[in-house]
Amino acid sequence: MNRIRLVFVGDVKAPWAVEACRHYTQALERFVRCDVALVRDAKDARDPVMRCRKEGQNLLGVLGPKDRVVGLDVGGKAYGSEGLAAKLSTWLDDPGRAPCFVIGGPYGFSPEARTRFDERMSLGPYTLPHELARVVLLEQLFRGMSILAGHPYHHA
pLDDT digits (tens, 9 = 90+) for 4-39: 999 999 999 999 999 999 999 999 999 999 999 999
Specify the CATH superfamily of domain 3-149.
SPOUT methyltransferase, trefoil knot domain (3.40.1280.10)
Tell me how long the chain is: 156
Query: What is the predicted pLDDT for the residue at 156?
Result: 61
pLDDT tens per residue across span 101-153:
999 998 899 999 999 999 999 999 888 888 999 999 999 999 999 999 998 88
> At a CB cut-off of 8 Å and minimum separation 6, what does 113 contact?
52, 55, 56, 59, 60, 71, 102, 104
pLDDT for residue 51 is more than 80: yes
Q: How far apart are CA 42 and CA 117, in angstroms?
A: 21
Angle between helices 15-28 and 130-149 (to 10 degrees): 20
**Alpha carbon separation from 70 to 63, 79, 151 (Å, rounded):** 11, 13, 25
Query: What is the predicted pLDDT for the residue at 104?
Result: 93
- Collapsed DSSP state (helix, strand, coil) of residue 97: coil
Cβ–Cβ under 8 Å, residues 108 and 78: no
Query: What is the predicted pLDDT for the residue at 100?
Result: 98
pLDDT for residue 44 is more than 80: yes
Q: Which residues pair with 120 in a beta bridge?
A: 71
> Which letter does DSSP use for residue 132 in this model?
H
In degrees and rounded to multiples of 5, residue 38 shows phi and psi of -105, 130
Among the listed residues 146, 155, 156, 106, the one whose alpha carbon sits nearest the alpha carbon of residue 24: 146
